[in-house]
Structure 1
Amino acid sequence: MAERILVPYDRSPLAIEALELVFEEFPDATVIALYVIEVPASRWAQLVGPELQIPITERVEEYADNVLESARETVSEHGRSLETTVATGEPDHRIVATAEEEAVDLIVVGSHGQEGISRVLLGSVAEKVVRRSPVPVLVVR
């Protein structure tokens, strides 16, 4: 059974459902909610130098804190604790990197359920995470 679980969290209905599923199905696990401040790949190409830090505005940091606060409220309803973290970059890359850094056993991610041509054209964070993850991924739809 999974002891450490990562839940990418953006306050969407499926992210909330993923978090609630983790608390119902894994009562003894340590749960980490991750919010990724998305930075498009094209922005990375503009950076040079040894420090590749994207400047994040205070407003964006406050938004990330608000999103994770809503996760903490969901958790309090279940009488559980929650670790939270914020990362910056492309969501699928940051989710996989955080899973490795935090040594999680499982990633539980919500999928927006795009199908057919829209999924092919737009891509899917959940699909990319499934392909790249070094640990099992449970996709909530």
Structure 2
Amino acid sequence: MTNSKLFEKILIATDVSEKNKSAVEAAIKIACACGSTVYAIYVMDESLMKSAIEVSIAGNLYKRIRKEEEEAVNWVKETAQGVNLETFILSGRPARAITEFAEQKEVDLIVVGTQGKSGIGRFLLGSLADEVIRTAGCPVPTIKSRK
């Protein structure tokens, strides 16, 4: 009989938003219960850099993004005490980077945050969670942010 965990590898795509904090906390609870390894990734959306035309704007935006990356990863590290945690900073299209990373690492579960928008708001803004759900090769629970 093999010793199989329900979820051996859990992926959390993190940022510093409130919608994401609830997802991180939920993923850490699942990881604690299952004895899982957690991969926390921050994806720098390269389309933001491409749209920053002026060099000074691009430089300032890059610095802000690097600061946010550091804050996000450090917050996850503080929250995930006692959990086997690995952090990564990637760049690319966020949903694609998340699902490709999950595939490469053979992740069993991707936990994402959502603000629970519906209707025209969701249509206009798009939804990272929706795209990840549609393209991931594993379960993707969404955690609605607490208000």
TM-score, length basis structure 2: 0.78
For the aligned residues, what is the CA RMSD? 2.3
User: What's the counterpart of residue 120 of structure 1?
Assistant: 123
For residues 56-89 of structure 1, the C-alpha deviation after alignment (integer angstroms, 9 at most, x for no partner) is 956643431222011111112xx32311001101
Task: Say which of 51, 62, 69 aligns to 1:64.
Answer: 69
Structure holding more helix per residue = 2
How many pairs does the alignment contain? 129
- Residue in structure 2 matched with residue 132 of structure 1 by the alignment: 135
Alignment of 1:48-127 (within 5 A): 57=62, 60-76=65-81, 79-127=82-130
Q: Distance in 1 between matches of 2:102 and 2:31?
A: 17
CA contact (8 A) 1:3 1:29 kept: yes
Question: 1:1-40 maps to which residues of 2 (within 5 A)?
Answer: 1-27=6-32, 28-40=35-47
Identity %: 34
Q: Indicate if the aligned counterparts of 2:23 and 2:143 stay in contact, CA closer than 8 A.
A: yes
Can you give the 5+ residue segments of structure 1 that lack an aligned partner in the other structure?
45-54
TM-score, reference length from structure 1? 0.81
CA gap of 1:63–1:23, structure 2 versus 1, over 3 A, is closer
Shift of 1:116: 0.4
